[in-house]
Structure 1
């Protein structure tokens, strides 16, 4: 059975555009997933990337075009300039980590819930009320937001160190443990699916 380490940012539009394709292909191929939320801004700084706010205007303009193209291609609602972006990723990331450790709901739906909250619903995912609501919607105890705070914070830091050591430099980033194959971007999911089928 293959296992995928999924490095993600809870405010990444590209993670949002991935939708539930990873979960569907994992199910089809009998693969499992570990969700690894990371601080994307720190990841960029440590791996030669540049935070969106600091990028040249030509790169920002192209990014907007790509977001529009993929939004239309995938037929997903996406606000190009959401009200709460950028926002502190840590609280929602802690919630994902704590929820995964609790193991009682759908972690994939939880991740997508936070991403949809930013890019489709224009909600502030650093807000405790929003975090609790998204947790509950994905089948988790909203109290996880409090109970898992310390463990989530510690694992969040470890996730970043693991990401850097593993060669991760952006999100979404998928690594198949058995083969070491790496896939960066939601536009590589078809290639990941083909790879899983070949194992």
Structure 2
């Protein structure tokens, strides 16, 4: 059975555009998933990337076109320039880490709900009530947002180290069995084919 380490930023619009396709692919192939939220800005600095504010205007303009086209292809609503972006990604990331340990709800649904909140619903995912609502919608106890903060913070930092060690440099990033890497929501078809033995 294959295992997928799913490195993600709760701020990434491209992770939002992935929807819940990873979960559908994993279910089809009997693969397991570990969700690994991380600090994408620090990862960029460590792996040669450029944070969005520092990119050339041409790259920023192209990114907006890619978001519009990607949302249309995915059938997802999107605001390419949401009011609450950027924001602090840590609280939502901590919630994902905490409930992954606790179990009992729809983890993929939670991740997508948090991303949808920022990219389609004009909500600030650093706010406690937004995180608690996303937890509740995904079948988790809302008060899990307030538990395990130290453990979650430590794992959040560890996810960054794990990502850098294995060769991850963006979000979303999928690592199969610690070796086969797929970067971007637009590589999910390749991931699917790889798990089928076609790639």
TM-score (norm: length of structure 2) = 0.98
CA offset at residue 76 of structure 1? 0.7
SS at match of 1:143: helix
Q: Which residue of 1 aligns with 2:92?
A: 92
Q: Which residue of 2 aligns with 1:155?
A: 155
C-alpha distance in 2 between matches for 1:34 and 1:45: 24
How many residue pairs are counted as aligned between the two chains?
198
1:193 has 2:192 as partner: yes
TM-score (norm: length of structure 1) = 0.98
CA displacement, residues 8-36 of structure 1 (integer Å, 9 cap, x when unaligned):
00110000000011000100000010000
Let me know the Cα RMSD of the aligned residues: 1.0
C-alpha distance in 2 between matches for 1:18 and 1:148: 28
C-alpha distance in 1 between matches for 2:135 and 2:166: 29
CA displacement, residues 50-83 of structure 1 (integer Å, 9 cap, x when unaligned):
1111101010011011111111111210001111
Range moving further from structure 2, 169-178 or 24-33: 169-178
CA offset at residue 198 of structure 1? 1.2
C-alpha distance in 2 between matches for 1:24 and 1:175: 16
C-alpha distance in 2 between matches for 1:73 and 1:125: 25
Name structure 1 gaps, 5 residues minimum.
none
SS at match of 2:142: coil
List structure 1 segments (4+ residues) > 3 angstroms apart after TM superposition. none
Q: Which residue of 2 aligns with 1:176?
A: 176
Name structure 2 gaps, 5 residues minimum.
none
Q: Which residue of 2 aligns with 1:80?
A: 80
1:59 has 2:92 as partner: no
